[in-house]
Each structure stands twice: as structure tokens, then as C-alpha cells.
Amino acid sequence: MLWLPYFRLFDRVVAIQNRYVEISDLDNQNLHAADVYVENIRSLHDGCLATVAESARNKQLRRPSVSWTKLLKIYIVGNKLG
């Protein structure tokens, strides 16, 4: 599935952030800032996945594309112009 690498990437970013918070001696203000950072990344991540999902849905809904040359040949043969 296409989305799996995106989920893994987000999990990796969160793991790195969590490890940084663990080894740092952060005060309450910086801990809050770290939480806000992860939430902002989550929001961006979810927005990106929603865009990818919408694009995939739209691609599936569209008819298969036919080149204009094929359409022209169909028109010519169908109207006995060729």
C-alpha cells in the first residue's frame, strides 16, 4: 500500500522527538512546546495523507484516458472518412 511508508516516516519523526525529550532536561514550557511540535507534525501528516487519498479516489473515478489520435481514428472509421 502506498501510504505505509508515510506512516512509518511519521512514526520515526515522533520516535526521534520522544527520544530527544527523554534525554533532554526540559522544563514545563519546553515540554509543552515539544508536544505542540508533534501535534503540528501530526496535523501536516494527516493533511498530506488526506490529499493523497483524495487524489487516489479521483484517479479511480476518472475514465481511462484515450489519446486524441485514437479518438480521431475511431471517428474516421466510424464515419467512413478513411
pLDDT, average across residues 55-74: 66
For the cut 60, the answer to whether the pLDDT of residue 67 exceeds it is yes
**What would the pLDDT profile of 24-51 be if each residue is shown by its tens digit?**
888 999 999 999 998 998 888 888 878 8
- Bigger pLDDT: 55 or 39? 39
Mean pLDDT for the chain?
Answer: 76
Helices (H), the chain: 4-23, 28-61, 68-78
pLDDT at 36 (0 to 100)? 93
The Cα 21–Cα 13 span in angstroms is: 12
pLDDT at 11 (0 to 100)? 84
64 φ, ψ (degrees, to nearest 5): -60, 140
